[in-house]
């Protein structure tokens, strides 16, 4: 066996990347820096800076013209002047509409999440316990609606629930008076449950399918009835799945716009809709910005902190 070294061409010459990498490294840029920089720059410009802009404009006032808000910085005889208005924030607290909208958003999202959990949990459990050949098909049936249009699903539901819709026609066959379901808070609840049910089922399923059935057998062996086993073994062990699923429903539900505007009535107050109307109907950009900032502080930041705490718990659990 001849040795390899004598037959090998010198290695360096053959690496096309080598020259480029080295040249970049000479000016202090490593591949690593490039990998980090590209998404970091994009997210800074299109995610972080916009939030700062929103905050800035929330301190302006509405005025007619383009853009429809007062400038923060004005030059007056060569002096730069900064004008900040707190009126939008004052208004948020004094006008009962806003406070009511925040509270009702939280309430609607919370109640809808609970209903979704109650409906989704048995479904997830049934799929997790289904025979192998069924499981993939059932799972596919859960995922399928998620890939179809969200908007069209809400629309389908509205066709189902309206005055002369399918439900009322079926009720009519039994001689029952048509129910008014559309344009009520009830319709909003149904809409949220309907559209976000897959988000509840999937994390619950992932959790429940990993549940070791010998734990259930052990519990039964030690004298628990099925419901006791469920309460004392299954439910506590599936808590991470419950939390994950609930977060996935609660978070988008709270800022929901499409569902309340298509299914809800005029009295259905949700903060996403208020912001939308403030912006599109009233063209009050500064007010809309203030609503957004308040939403960020009241809703988004607590959720982020909660998630961080949850991650820390999970991390420690490992």
Partner 1 sequence: MRRGWFLPIAATLGFAFLYLPIMSLVVFSFNESKLVTVWSGFSTKWYGELFADPQMLGAAWLSLQIAFFSATIALVLGTLCAVALVRFKRFRGRTVLAGAVSAPLVMPDVITGLALLLLFVAMEGLVGWPSGRGVLTITIAHATFCTAYVTVVVQSRLSDLDLSLEEAAMDLGATPVRVFFDITLPIIAPALISGWLLAFTLSLDDLVIASFVSGPGSSTLPMVIFSKVRLGVSPDVNALATIIIGVVALGVIGATLFSMRSGRARRA
Partner 2 sequence: MAKKPQLAYETRPWRDPAAKPFVRIKNVTKKFGDVLAVHDVSLDIFKSELFCLLGGSGSGKSTLLRMLAGFESPSSGTIEIDGQDMTFEPPYDRPVNMMFQSYALFPHMNVEQNIAYGLKRDHLPAAEIRDRVAELLALVKLQDYGRRKPNQLSGGQRQRVALARALAKRPKLLLLDEPLGALDKKLREETQFELVKIQESLGVTFIVVTHDQEEAMTLATRIGVMNQGEIAMIGEPTDIYEYPNSRFVAGFIGSVNMVEGIVTEDEPDHVRIRSAELGCDIYVGHGVDCAPDQILWWAIRPEKMELSRDRPEGLNGANVTRGIVEEIAYLGDISLYQIVLESGKRVRVSQTNSVRGNPDAITWEETVYITWGDNAGSVLTV
State which of positions 103-122 bind partner 1 (CB under 8 A). Answer: 119-120, 122
For partner 1, the binding residues in 20-59 under the rule CB under 8 A are 21, 31-32, 35-36, 38-40, 42-51, 53-54, 57
Q: Are 288 and 279 in contact (CB under 8 A)?
A: yes
Q: CA 208 to CA 138: how far, in whole Å?
A: 15
- Output the smallest distance, CB 26 to partner 2, in A: 17
For partner 2, the binding residues in 8-67 under the rule CB under 8 A are 8-9, 11, 14
Q: Is 28 left (phi over 0), alpha (psi -120 to 50) or beta?
A: left
Task: Pick what 67 binds: partner 1, partner 2, none; C-beta below 5 to 8 Å, kind-dependent.
Answer: partner 1
Cβ burial, residue 13 (10 Å; 0-12/13-18/19+): exposed
The residue count for binding partner 2 (CB under 8 A) is 9
Q: Are 58 and 293 in contact (CB under 8 A)?
A: yes
Rule CB under 8 A: say whether 140 interacts with partner 2. no
Task: Pick what 3 binds: partner 1, partner 2, none; C-beta below 5 to 8 Å, kind-dependent.
Answer: partner 2
- Output the smallest distance, CB 46 to partner 1, in A: 4
Rule CB under 8 A: say whether 175 interacts with partner 2. no
Q: Which part of the chain contacts partner 2 (CB under 8 A), choosing from 6-14, 106-114, 274-282, 302-310?
A: 6-14
95 φ, ψ (degrees, to nearest 5): -80, 115
- Output the smallest distance, CB 14 to partner 2, in A: 5
Q: Distances in Å between the alpha carbon of 45 and those of 38, 41, 56, 254, 271?
A: 11, 6, 15, 26, 26
62 φ, ψ (degrees, to nearest 5): -70, 140
């Amino acid at each position: 066996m001849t040795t390899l070294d004598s037959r090998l061409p010198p290695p360096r010459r053959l690496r096309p990347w080598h020259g480029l990498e080295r040249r970049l490294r000479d000016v202090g840029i490593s591949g690593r820096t490039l990998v980090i920089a590209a998404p970091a720059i994009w997210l800074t410009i299109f995610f972080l800076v916009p939030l700062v802009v929103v905050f800035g404009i929330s301190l302006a006032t509405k005025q007619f013209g383009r853009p429809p808000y007062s400038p923060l910085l004005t030059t007056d005889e060569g002096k730069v002047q900064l004008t900040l208005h707190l009126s939008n924030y004052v208004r948020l607290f004094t006008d009962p509409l806003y406070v009511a909208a925040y509270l009702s958003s939280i309430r609607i999202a919370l109640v809808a999440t609970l209903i979704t959990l109650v409906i989704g949990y048995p479904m997830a459990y049934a799929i997790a316990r289904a025979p192998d050949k069924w499981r993939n098909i059932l799972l596919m049936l859960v995922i399928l609606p998620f890939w179809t249009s969200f908007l069209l699903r809400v629309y389908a539901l509205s066709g189902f629930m309206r005055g002369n819709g399918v439900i009322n026609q079926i009720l009519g066959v039994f001689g029952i008076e048509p129910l008014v379901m559309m344009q009520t808070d009830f319709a909003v609840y149904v809409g949220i449950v309907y559209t976000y049910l897959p988000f509840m089922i999937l994390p619950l399923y992932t959790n429940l399918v990993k549940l070791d059935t010998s734990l259930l057998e052990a519990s039964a062996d030690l004298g628990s009835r099925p419901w006791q086993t469920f309460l004392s073994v299954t439910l506590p062990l599936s808590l991470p799945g419950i939390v994950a699923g609930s977060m996935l429903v609660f978070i988008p539900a709270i800022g929901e716009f499409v569902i309340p505007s298509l299914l809800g009535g005029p009295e259905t107050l949700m903060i996403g809709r208020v912001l939308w109307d403030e912006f599109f109907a009233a063209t009050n950009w500064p007010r809309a910005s203030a609503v957004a900032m308040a939403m960020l502080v009241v809703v988004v930041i607590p959720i982020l902190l909660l998630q961080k705490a949850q991650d820390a718990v999970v991390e420690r659990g490992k």
